Amino acid sequence: MSHDAVIIGSGAGGAAAAYELTRLGLSVLVLEAGPRFEPATDYPHDEAGWERRRFPRKAGSVAEIRYGDLGRTGPHDPALPSWNAVQGAPPSPDGRRQPGGGYSHVRGVGGSTLHFVGEAHRLHRDAFGLASALGAGADWPLSYEVLAPFYLQAERLIGVAGPERQTGRPRDAPFPFAAHPLNTAARRLADAGVALNLPFEANSRAVLPVSRDGRPPCNYCGQCSRGCPIGDKGSADQTFLRHAARSGRMTLLAEASVLRLHPGRDGSIAALDYRHRGRTHRRETPMLILAAGAVQTPRLLLHSACPGMPEGIANGSGEVGRNFMETLSWHGTGLVPGLRDSHKGLPADAVCWAQNGPDGVPGAAGGCRFTSSVQEIGFTGPIAYAQRLLPGFGAAFKDVMRARFGSALTVGATGAVIPDGRSRVRLDPDRHDPDGVPLPVIDSVLTENSLTLLAHMAGVGRRLLSECGVEPVAEQISSWDRFTATHAFGTARMGTDPSRSVTDARGRSHDHPNLWITDASVFPASGGGEAPALTIHALALRAAQHIVAG
């Protein structure tokens, strides 16, 4: 069976592309390397012991990643290293570590949206012109206004709930739903923010407050990152892919790993090889959309090098794999006397955008944002309190656990990353996966800008915690010594100059007329800490419309 388009990856970008192409009448084949997940059985959260279960792993659902240069940890601000009140500080290495898996991702039908918290963020309007404004990083080759209609389209399809107005993000129409209520920790943080001139507002969330489109409303279990068993979270499998499947024009193969792309004589990508159920298949690609994410997309492009393209597919600029941008983050947690029920409600329910613009932080480029993150970071059950926040033992310890459970409050801060020549995704020269494809290697080094931002985020975070009444700070997790990227960007960036970018402003490869990239690898700039999923959706919807328009 032939299809009008082949899409590699079914995460945020692949799913949105599949949805829009099928909506506009095209047939698509989606090749997803990972497995399917069944929410009701794979992440039920309905039994004792739920806290010991993370987002489930299935065969093929986590890619093998190698880590190269993650940078050195030098002289530092005492507020920067990671530690907690129970474990203390780990032995100080010379370099950053990647505990808990490093690049946090899910390979599966729905991609990393399956385990995302579901923040639905537009980029700050001014983030599109970072380089022009501050001489740092790169500009987007399009404006907020160009992307706005596609943001709105995605918000409506998903059912995003958000406030009437959002700092730095002008709107032509309201969110489909009003914002979710703030939980106890978020309300305390919002009060503290007023005192420090750091106003918090309700976060925009891809989570339904009411039934819609066959999906129920959220019941505020607080476990978004463990997977949503009831379907209120707007992950790609529950939204874009459901609609694409209903069209009858989508074929989705799970556990289908693309091995290599084959260029044709006319400069297009003629075909690809993929492995499915133990056999290798070749499929022609009249139109090819690559949406495998900022690590796997460059990996495939580089691996598909051939005699006529020794630097890889779509790599006339030499930028494939380069400009890798990780997630710059700082989280501080403590217990607040008298606070209760902080484990209840919607994770990441409140956000402060006051410093999110490109010039939002003095002395650093790109900006940052602050979030109420107590559930997002895992303080929703007693195990986390016992392992991280509350030392001690015996009867007294058990009494304290009982008395203080539910009183944790976390300030999460996420900031911009400026691309650096040392940060990239490359191919391992020695190690391969079982299909013979070289493993990807991530190099990611913190620049002076990142360190300045991080110190600022930590300082503001601690002031917020103090204003909230935290006594004392019991945990700190920081990118300074931990590489734990949940968001990764930049490794096939878009731009107007083919010598310095991989795709044009629509996401189409400069080098191959039928190759489009619709994932976060096309981001020329990370933004000031925004979650990227909504921007990926918008870019993919726009790219799909351009594909159909020819």
Partner 1 sequence: MRTIGGPLRTNDRAIDRRGLIGLAAAALSGLAPLPAAGGDRAVAAATLDAFLDTLLPADAASPAAGAAGVGPEIRAIADGADDPRLKRLLALGTEWLDGLDARPFAALPATVRTRVLAWMEGADRGAVPGRFFLVVRTLAVEIYYARAEAIAGFPISVAPQPAGYPPPWG
344-363 binders of partner 1 (CB under 8 A): 344-345
CB 163 within 8 Å of CB 526:
no
Residue 387 engages partner 1 in binding (rule: CB under 8 A): yes
**Which amino acid belongs to residue 162?**
G
Residue 432 engages partner 1 in binding (rule: CB under 8 A): no
Tokens 């995302």 belong to which residue? Answer: 116
Residue 36 engages partner 1 in binding (rule: CB under 8 A): no
Burial of 13-38, coded b for 16+ CB within 10 Å and e otherwise, reads: bbbbbbbbbbbeebbbbbbbbbbbbe
Instruction: Report the nearest approach of partner 1 to the CB of residue 257 (Å).
Output: 12
Residue 210 engages partner 1 in binding (rule: CB under 8 A): no
Closest among 294, 290, 245 to 269, alpha carbons compared: 290
Segment contacting partner 1 by CB under 8 A, of 47-55, 168-176, 237-245, 414-422: 47-55
93-112 binders of partner 1 (CB under 8 A): 98-103
Q: Spell out, one character per residue from 437 to 476, where the chain touches partner 1: x when CB under 8 A holds, - when not.
A: --x-x-----------------------------------
280-319 binders of partner 1 (CB under 8 A): none
Closest among 428, 419, 487 to 447, alpha carbons compared: 419
109 vs 413, beta carbon nearer partner 1? 109
Instruction: Report the nearest approach of partner 1 to the CB of residue 238 (Å).
Output: 16
Of these, 112, 166, 204, 223, which contacts partner 1 (CB under 8 A)? Answer: 223
Round to whole Å and give the CA distance between 525 and 438: 27
179 vs 540, beta carbon nearer partner 1? 179
Of these, 51, 284, 311, 435, which contacts partner 1 (CB under 8 A)? Answer: 51
Of these, 33, 154, 325, 386, which contacts partner 1 (CB under 8 A)? Answer: 386
Q: Is 545 helix (H, G, I), strand (E, B) or coil?
A: helix
Round to whole Å and give the CA distance between 127 and 133: 9
Distances (CA, A) of 54 to 43, 115, 147, 157, 204: 9, 10, 35, 28, 25
Residue 435 engages partner 1 in binding (rule: CB under 8 A): no
Residue 72 engages partner 1 in binding (rule: CB under 8 A): no
CB 56 within 8 Å of CB 42:
yes
Residue 379 engages partner 1 in binding (rule: CB under 8 A): no
Instruction: Report the nearest approach of partner 1 to the CB of residue 482 (Å).
Output: 12
Paired with 515 in beta bridges are 288
**Phi, psi torsion values for 318, nearest 5 degrees:** 75, 10
Instruction: Report the nearest approach of partner 1 to the CB of residue 230 (Å).
Output: 7
Instruction: Report the nearest approach of partner 1 to the CB of residue 384 (Å).
Output: 9
Residue 63 engages partner 1 in binding (rule: CB under 8 A): yes
Residue 90 engages partner 1 in binding (rule: CB under 8 A): yes
Of these, 127, 138, 148, 230, which contacts partner 1 (CB under 8 A)? Answer: 230
Of these, 141, 176, 229, 507, which contacts partner 1 (CB under 8 A)? Answer: 229
34 vs 495, beta carbon nearer partner 1? 34
Paired with 427 in beta bridges are 440
Closest among 234, 254, 223 to 378, alpha carbons compared: 223
Round to whole Å and give the CA distance between 298 and 385: 39
Tokens 């691309």 belong to which residue? Answer: 419
Distances (CA, A) of 113 to 227, 326, 415, 484, 541: 9, 17, 20, 17, 17
Residue 71 engages partner 1 in binding (rule: CB under 8 A): no
Q: Spell out, one character per residue from 250 to 279, where the chain touches partner 1: x when CB under 8 A holds, - when not.
A: ------------------------------
Of these, 52, 265, 277, 279, which contacts partner 1 (CB under 8 A)? Answer: 52
CB 321 within 8 Å of CB 292:
no
Instruction: Report the nearest approach of partner 1 to the CB of residue 335 (Å).
Output: 14
Closest among 319, 279, 318, 320 to 297, alpha carbons compared: 320
100 vs 199, beta carbon nearer partner 1? 100
Instruction: Report the nearest approach of partner 1 to the CB of residue 48 (Å).
Output: 4
Residue 436 engages partner 1 in binding (rule: CB under 8 A): no
68 vs 286, beta carbon nearer partner 1? 68
Paired with 331 in beta bridges are 412, 477
106 vs 288, beta carbon nearer partner 1? 106
225 vs 501, beta carbon nearer partner 1? 225
Closest among 245, 247, 220 to 232, alpha carbons compared: 220
